Each structure stands twice: as structure tokens, then as C-alpha cells.
Structure 1
Amino acid sequence: MANAVEKRRAVRMAPEDRMREIEVAARSVFSRRGYAAASISEIAEKAGIREGTIYKYYENKRDLLLVVVQHWYEDLIAGFMESLADVEGTQAKFRTIIRNHIKAIKASPDLSRLFFTEVRGADDYHDSVLFELNRKYVRVLTDVIEEGMELGLLRADISTTLIRDVIFGGLESHASGFLANRSEFDVDKITKQLSELIWAGMALPPSESDDLSKRVERLEAAVSRMENSSRAED
């Protein structure tokens, strides 16, 4: 074991490659042991490097945790935006956002757990890069809701921050059993039920003027067809 570690130490790596290697090891150790029980020495052993090497790139264990979660969040946002690029319609976008969030939790329960329990409640969170990334992440949802309001699809009297908190807070609470390895987390079922429930509460019912407008359009189309048919017979 020692020989293998020494052999790996002798291999020179670019700083970004070394950091990636350390972060992969840290994620594994944090996930298995939890943040409090994890140690820099164990992470170094997992990465096959000296403990001191980690301190060349990271100030301490907390700094390493935040970087690991930050890179996950950055990838999450990039995937989020990519998945929405070809989605048309406010309701379809709304459903896609909810589905993507559920999928993210299910795909990375270890990092979701670390973010919920070790990062977000800490004193340094609101001054961190992760806080700004989280604001950017949830802003995607509020932008879609505001788009629906501008298009006249959603009620203008609802609070976008309230809807945001209901969705993300509700999903976090619902996922707690899954993150504790006590229950399953059905992506399709939860997406369907939550998106339909919230949308029904936000959507504007068709107004009488909308109904009248549609009836007039159908009547005009029918008259046009009759006129064209009459001309053809002449």
C-alpha cells in the first residue's frame, strides 16, 4: 500500500487535475463518513497523496467541502438551463424545473444531504458563493412564474417567493426519508402530483371575455368556410 502511494506521489499532475482528484476523494469520504467524522488524513489517503498536499489547494476541511458542493451546484445549474433551452410553454417549463430538481436530489443524495445539513444552515452560508448560486438556481423558477403572469396564464396576486418556498421547501421535506435511506423517491409520480397541484392553484380560470373571444373566432371561421363553399358552387 505504501509503495503504491509513494509511486502516485512521484507522478506530477497539473494543479487542476490534482484538485479534481482531491475533490473526488473528499466527496467519497464526506458521503460515507459525514462531514464531522471525515478527516483530511482520510481524504488524503483516499486520494493517494500526502496530507500536506491538500493544504496547498484548500485552506481547511470546511473550504474543501464548500468547493466540492460549489462545483456540483455549478454543474447542476448548467444542466438546468440546458434542459430548458428547447422547452416551450410556461406550464411545460414549470414542470421541467420541478422534475429536474427532483432528479438532482435522487441522482446525488450525498451532496444534497451535505448541502441541506452542513452548508445551508451554517453561519458563513449567506456570504458564500453557494448562497449566490442557490439564488441563481431558484431564480429560474420565479422567472418562469413571472412569465406566466405576464402572459395572463397565472394569477398576478400570488407571491413568487411563497410558491418558490412551497416547491423547494416541500420537496426537501418530502425527500428527507429518501436522504435518510428510509423511503423511495419516485421522480415521475412526485413531478406529476406536485406540478399539477401547484399549477392548479396558480392558474387563472378562463374568463368570460376569453370564452366570448374564442366563440367569435369559431363563428368567423365558420362564416368564412360557408362563403368559400358558396363561391365554389357558383
Structure 2
Amino acid sequence: MSEEEELIQQLFAEEDELTDKQKKILIAAIESFSEKGYAGTSTNEIAKKAGVAEGTIFRHYKTKKDLLMSIVAPMMAKLIGPFIINDLNKVLDREFDHVEDFIRAMMENRREFLKKHISILKIMLQEIPFQPELREQFFEHVAKKTFDRFVNVIQHYQAKGQMIEMPPESAARLAITTIFGSLMAQYLLFPHAEWDDEVETERIIQFIMHGLGTTKAR
């Protein structure tokens, strides 16, 4: 069973009314959207990949956007949201003596998650900037459930004197965007470049802790 087929099984396990043709369409759409993006994929391409007539797609999904949302909506609610929360909790629920250890664990945790769900995550990350509905779902199922916990972690290490004094919300945003921006570059933007995971992780830790400047800002 392919990765896409496994994802379909997880996402739509409780929806017995899905026909075999619908499942083929969804699998083909996940593969195509992941490879070429939503805008770069035609319903004709999806139909050919699924081995169905293009009209079959429109019998089940009124528009290409309906097809996209039929994938991403359950993905966010059933798979990505819970998986992100549960996986993040494995790190957030632990107490590390040093903030560097926390960052290292977070990088490793998110890297493994990306590797396992790269196809479906590519669709989500590519389309969130352009689809208001997806942004709302991401905020509802992921962002608002995790950001406050990150802020608490920042406050913990600030109290220990391991991070500088700045509004913890700002520090959390900077740390989060650095960690996730690096992983997006590695797995989505430049996947064919040569990457050393361990070296990259240590560089991210150094960047978060010390920045790029050679002197302290005045």
C-alpha cells in the first residue's frame, strides 16, 4: 500500500460511503497537488492518474476547489491537527535542563513528522497562503492549541536565565518561524540539496541563541 493510500485510509476510515472511484480520485489528487501544486494541476490530469473520466470527478466534486477541500478539511481535523498536537506534546511535556536541548528535540521531532507525511503536508503548506478556509482551519486545529504552550516554554527558560528578556510571545514567534522555516526549506523548497540533519540542527540552535551578529546590539 502506497503512502497516499495509507493516508486516505486514515483520513476517510469512517466514511464508508466513499466509492472505489472516489478513493482513486482522492489518491490521484493528493499525488498531483503534492507534485505540482493546486494551481498547476488540472482535473484532467487527476482523472487520467485515477483512471476515470474527468466527468466522474465533477459528479462527486463540483469544482477543483471542492476536491481540494475534501482532502484538506478532514486532513486538518483528523490527521494533521491531532498528529501535530500529539507529537508536539511529546516534546512540550518534557522538561529539559537547557533550552538548547529543547530546541534540538523539537527539530528532531518535527523533522520525523515531515518525513512521514511529506506528500500531504506539501499540499497544506502550499495552499494555506492562498486559501482563507485552510488558514482558519490551521489556526483552529493547530496554531491556537500550540502557541500558548510555546510561550510557556519560553517563559520557563527566561526565568532560568537561559534566554534574553523580551516579550515571550515575540520570542516564541521568532523561534517557531526559525525552526519551521528551516525544515520547510530542507524538505519543500530545496529537497535535492545536500543536507546534514545534525549539522543543520546545531546551526539552528546557534542562530536562535546567538543570532548572526558578531557584537551585541546597542
Is residue 192 of structure 1 aligned with residue 202 of structure 2? yes
Give the number of equivalent residue pairs: 186
The answer to whether the 8 Å contact 2:128/2:134 transfers is: yes
Cα distance, 1:52–1:191 mapped onto 2, change above 3 Å = same
Aligned partners of 1:120 and 1:82: how far apart in 2?
28
Cα distance, 1:66–1:47 mapped onto 2, change above 3 Å = farther
Is residue 96 of structure 1 aligned with residue 101 of structure 2? no
Q: Secondary structure at the match of 1:120?
A: coil
Q: CA deviation at 1:83?
A: 4.5
Q: CA deviation at 1:145?
A: 0.8
Q: CA deviation at 1:75?
A: 1.4
Unmatched 5+ residue regions in structure 1?
1-12, 202-234
Cα distance, 1:55–1:199 mapped onto 2, change above 3 Å = same
Q: Secondary structure at the match of 2:132?
A: coil
Q: Percent identity?
A: 15
Cα distance, 1:45–1:178 mapped onto 2, change above 3 Å = closer
Is residue 143 of structure 1 aligned with residue 152 of structure 2? yes
1:51 to 57, 60, 64: 57
Q: Secondary structure at the match of 2:169?
A: helix
Q: CA deviation at 1:60?
A: 0.9
The answer to whether the 8 Å contact 2:114/2:121 transfers is: yes
1:39 to 40, 43, 55: 43
1:131 to 139, 152, 156: 139
- The amino acid of 1:193's aligned partner reads R
Which protein has the larger Cα radius of gyration, Structure 1 or Structure 2?
A: 1
Aligned partners of 1:130 and 1:184: how far apart in 2?
30
Aligned partners of 1:32 and 1:42: how far apart in 2?
12
Question: 1:205 is matched with which residue?
Answer: none
The answer to whether the 8 Å contact 1:97/1:141 transfers is: no
Aligned partners of 1:143 and 1:153: how far apart in 2?
14
Question: So what's the TM-score if we normalise by structure 2?
Answer: 0.62
Aligned partners of 1:52 and 1:110: how far apart in 2?
24
Unmatched 5+ residue regions in structure 2?
1-12, 212-218
Residues 16-40 of structure 1 deviation map (CA, whole Å, 9 limit, x = unaligned): 5849946545322321332121438
Q: CA deviation at 1:90?
A: 5.2
Cα distance, 1:35–1:96 mapped onto 2, change above 3 Å = same
Question: So what's the TM-score if we normalise by structure 1?
Answer: 0.58
Aligned partners of 1:75 and 1:47: how far apart in 2?
31
Is residue 80 of structure 1 aligned with residue 88 of structure 2? yes
Structure 1 segments (4+ residues) deviating >6 Å: none
Aligned partners of 1:140 and 1:184: how far apart in 2?
33
Aligned partners of 2:82 and 2:26: how far apart in 1?
14
Is residue 63 of structure 1 aligned with residue 69 of structure 2? yes
Q: Secondary structure at the match of 2:38?
A: coil
Question: 1:3 is matched with which residue?
Answer: none
Question: 1:15 is matched with which residue?
Answer: 15
What's the C-alpha RMSD, in Å, of the aligned pairs? 3.9
- The amino acid of 2:66's aligned partner reads N
Cα distance, 1:14–1:153 mapped onto 2, change above 3 Å = closer
